[in-house]
Structure 1
């Protein structure tokens, strides 16, 4: 029971590892980790740090405006002051004055009619006047009106009408009514031509009839005040301007401004809007890269190792750029990413990544279009300049080119925007340092990428092709025949790979190292047997085959020891595929136990060549060895031999997995013949000359 449980646990663990080993799972995990790390790097930069503050608190620090905005509270106060500065506008209702004058005029008409009633007594007239009058006066005033002379009455009437016209012509507001009555009373008292009774009657008539005729013009007043408010210029807070200084009291106005900046943390806990927005932005840019790879570069899309390299480059350069931004935005080294991606993966992808990183890093830092364009131009130039770089000093040259382009771009923007020449020089210095810093960082980190991720770059290949490499040096000293054989195989392989669209540099370097396994037993191989002795004559064919076929395994072990890239190790292992060691196989067939000999025991372990370069090295290796053994090589013999060897490899199935077509094989054959004819060309036989005869001596 326990045994079954252990088996189930092992099976579960195995299935889990098998699941995690799937490419799609690795890609998803890489995408998730990349997204989280990118958020960790840039999350705090996508928006300023939130501030927890409320009305009545003291500001924890100087708070600056994150954008240009209007101080609405201060502007509103200025508008209110402007409106208050506009006096209330009144209108005079002339109808009120006309009515009052008509009432007074009617009073005097009625008064005169009653005064002319000669048959009536004074008491009856008093009663009639009280009943018919439209102005309610006192008994004394009625008595005076009936008793004064006609001339005095006319004078009084004229004075009353004049006083009404004078006072009400300017208008009387409700609040001024009593004061106006007092003023009129004083004015009547000063009229010397009127008797005291007439003055009393006039004052009473005016006090009873006068009323406000000046009213607030609401519409006009509102319009004028609104016009004054509209003329107030809004108070603008500039980007970067201090809203509140440290330890300053936060009032309603300051609180509203801080809220408008987006700096105010209004709720406790995580800012989910910021997190969601940042994640969405990262995922959009990530999706652009993934979509490009899926549509245009599936080789990289399905290569988890290269995807990991791409992710690390983007993450590291983003982090470095964020740090350099604190010194100057002109020092952000986007060019490092483009140069590394161009060298390690491919230039087309580098251009896309450059575009995305320029937008992304520009957004999380300065959010300045000029800086984004500078980063975009510098990175693109770095990509173009680094293509086909075969020497590390070329990276320094690329850095100088990027520096020059940065200086020109900064100067161009400076002249366009009218920046002072001194400021242009200052920023141009940072632009120049950017290019140099990018070159140094690229050169310094390139060996790390090559060795850590086993990536074969042209620079690494050229270094490996140097004869002073320890393993090649050993091959030259300990197995000179094999070394010279490898050099010729390298020439053949490079020429053929270039013709069929392979990587000529990989083919050449792979050919240089393909036989390093012979260093274990160099004298068991014909090209290193100089004294005519052959150790294989003393051992049986099976052992000889084992020694011969093991040189691929021995070569792989040496390659690991000397840390050769996997692409070169693959060529070492695959350059014989599963071919038959024909010489010893036939020798075994002719031995005493020939009936029991099996061909599979005399074949290399393989695998068969998996790439064009490995297959080309296999063919070049066989062709070089065969032509070297040819007694009198001629063009016809060489071409026939080359095509026969290629045909035998094809028929034996050794080229089934390498991707070479029949057309490629024909091209390879023609290329091999052309190179070999240059090696085995005919030479002129020089005649023997008598030096003494040439000098004219007897």
Structure 2
């Protein structure tokens, strides 16, 4: 009992502490960092080449082995052959050259023959006494000299004189056949690929092409000489194409990567020079860049804290004590994180899959029951991220995506189940549902890994999945009363339990004041819909409405709704006494609820639902019966005024229900006018000054009340008297 009182006092003091949220956020960040520090800390090992490894070392992350990649690229580059390109213009050029030589020979023969004929005709036409010696034909030397003037010097110097002599001395027919044979042979040979090393072979093929030419032997020798001269290299090394092919070969080489989890060296193996190089590449041999994992963890934690801060600033209604919820969330988060870290220590006994037994769903379940569903979903994602680091199977700086998926779906299963069945008795069923989902997730993970598992391994996964869900439910059931009692939290589940008609206080209202009970149910319906319309806590308003008039059970006959077939006792007593009896039902109700340890929210609403409003009927009655001056303050409720939206709306709904019930014919127009009048009176009387209801929200509340009342008092069909009517057969 003393512990509970101490905790309650601590919570009461914490509610008003301005810097409590900042302290909680700092503690949460520090706890996350300390719990995940060892899982991201780079492992440093004192190793030397050619020693025996004392432990199995795995790669903590995937990295490219650039040295090995470069080595493979050089090997691929060496296998690339040089690219040689065929010059397609060369065959045509060499054919044209051969054609030009034969044409030059023909021109020499024609020109020397024409010159001889011209000189011979001049000799014949001259007088006999003037004739000299008969002209002679041009000599071979003269023809060769003329031919030299028609051909470039590099051709005449490169070919033997005998070649030109044979061509000049051949007949036109022989020369024509020689030309055709030579041009054909040159075209055939030059249109094949002739690299530098194949020139001699190409010239030999030329010999084979021309040895059967239909010409004289001396002419054949001449054209063979010409053909060999025409054969030149037509394939040349292509620098650009070769470089491009080398680059393609290098690009085709897949980068060599050391994969995350890959065994670099096993225990008892020799650390070779290559293994030592890989260990250095993975950062096992020095302390360089050791700050990077910690910087990454810090950024991740800051992001998580920022998400939590944003949620509490924008999604926790202002009419709740925010510090209390922040403190509750901090405790739940810390307990869940400590639980994960404690279980993770068992990874050191060489059982890395122990993380599947952690009842991580406990955290989101408690958040769902004590705060709300949206924060529980956010918590599920945060626990999944933290679990993926804490249970990284000894691979420092990595994430265990399998455990993250398992934690996420396990937590969401519990949250979504309770969103449908929001009762304390359903928590154990939620645990069984979580176990069922855990089994499915484990099965999917094992199938996706496509590994070979023994029956013992499969059985262990199955047992851990079941135990995780059941323990989560058991811990939730055990811790929930601690939070509800210690922090004074009125959870959704607690509200639903208090709304049970079999609750002793509700049965007391029903049996002792049935009219008040009916009135309270009507007020509950009105306030619930109105609160939901503006985003307030409709369930709190509904359940609190059931109890708000419990003070009337002390003197039920003095309240009009309970005056069935009896005279109104107020007609026989003074307005002053009537006022005291009516006003006391608020304080009596609060005392009664306080005595039975009901939630503080119910006590506050019982005290505040009338605020400091004026009992107009008895006030004016007292003024009419007395000559003395009667002040309004004497006939006002003691208050306090409504401090929350729920209390203000219940007060309005209470007045509206009573007023509409007194109408003889409550038409929609009358209801709307009455609701507007009551809200306006409350507003002008200052009864809403201490709660944070806005004018826009009041307008929405008014419309909601009218819509609900229209449903209660809708017009009904007046059925004719059935007496004497005959039932018609269809």
Q: What band does the TM-score fall into relative to the shorter chain? A: 0.5 to 0.7
Secondary structure of 2:439's partner? helix
- Superposed CA deviations along residues 564-591 of structure 1, whole A, max 9, x for unmatched, are 3233333222211221111121122123
**Superposed displacement of residue 64, structure 1:** 6.7
Does the 8 Å contact 1:475/1:483 carry over to 2? yes
Structure 1 residues 688 and 281: CA distance shift in structure 2, 3 A: closer
Aligned to 1:579, what secondary structure does the other structure show?
coil
2:434 is aligned to 402
CA contact (8 A) 1:399 1:435 kept: yes
Q: TM-score, normalised by structure 1?
A: 0.59
Q: State which of 319, 322, 327 in structure 1 corresponds to 2:338.
A: 319
Say if 1:468 and 1:279 are closer, same or farther in 2 by CA, change over 3 A: same
Contact 1:293/1:300 (8 A) holds in 2: no
Aligned to 2:22: 28
Q: What is the aligned counterpart of 1:577 among 590, 594, 611? A: 611
CA contact (8 A) 2:641 2:688 kept: yes
Q: Contact between 1:573 and 1:606, CA under 8 Å: does it hold in 2? A: yes
Residue of structure 2 in register with 1:431 after alignment: 465
User: Equivalents in 2 of 1:505, 1:279: separation in Å?
Assistant: 40
Deviations 1:11-64 (A, max 9, x none): xxxxxx99987654222233344455556766677669999x999xxxxxx977
Instruction: List alignment gaps of at least 5 residues for structure 2.
Output: 1-10, 49-53, 62-257, 269-276, 347-352, 393-398, 725-730
Of the candidates 638, 641, 648, which is equivalent to residue 608 of structure 1?
A: 641
Residue number among 334, 349, 356 corresponding to 2:360 in the alignment: 334
Alignment of 1:210-609 (within 5 A): 282=301, 285-294=304-313, 299=318, 303-325=322-344, 326=346, 328-366=354-392, 367-421=399-453, 422=455, 423-530=457-564, 532-537=566-571, 539-595=573-629, 597-609=630-642
Once the two structures are superposed, what CA deviation does each residue of 1:216-243 show, in whole Å capped at 9, x if it has no partner? Answer: xxxxxxxxxxxxxxxxxx9xx9879986
| Whole-angstrom distance in 2 between the partners of 1:615 and 1:629 | 22
Measured at CA, do residues 45 and 397 of structure 1 come closer, stay the same or move farther in structure 2, by a change above 3 Å?
same
Q: Distance in 2 between matches of 1:498 and 1:295?
A: 18
Q: Which residue of 1 aligns with 2:652?
A: 619
Provide the rounded CA distance (Å) in 2 between the counterparts of 1:454 and 1:441.
Answer: 19
Offset of residue 655 of structure 1? 4.0
CA contact 2:495–2:543 (8 Å) conserved in 1: yes
Pairing 1:86-235 to 2, within 5 Å after superposition: none
- Alignment partner of 1:668 is 2:704: yes
Count of paired positions: 492
Change (3 A) 1:545 1:242: farther
**Structure 1 unaligned spans of 5+:** 1-16, 56-61, 70-233, 245-255, 690-698
**Separation of aligned partners in 1, 2:652 and 2:14:** 39
Instruction: Give the Cα separation in 1 of the matches to 2:406 and 2:632.
Output: 66
Q: TM-score, normalised by structure 2?
A: 0.56
Distance in 1, Cα, partners of 2:554 & 2:635: 20
RMSD of the alignment, in Å? 4.8
Partner Cα distance (2:605, 2:12) in 1:
28
How far apart, in 2, do the equivalents of 1:19 and 1:345 lie? 20
* Contact 2:533–2:701 under 8 Å retained in 1: no
Q: CA deviation at 1:309?
A: 0.9
For each residue in 1:318-354, what CA deviation from the matched residue of structure 2 results, as whole angstroms up to 9, or x when unmatched? Answer: 1222334439211122222223223332333223322
Task: State how far apart, in whole Å, the 1-side matches of 2:332 and 2:683 are.
Answer: 43
Alignment deviations for residues 60-103 of structure 1 (CA, whole Å, 9 cap, x no partner): xx97757679xxxxxxxxxxxxxxxxxxxxxxxxxxxxxxxxxx
Deviation string 1:458-486 (CA, Å, 9 cap, x unpaired) is 32222111111121122223333322221
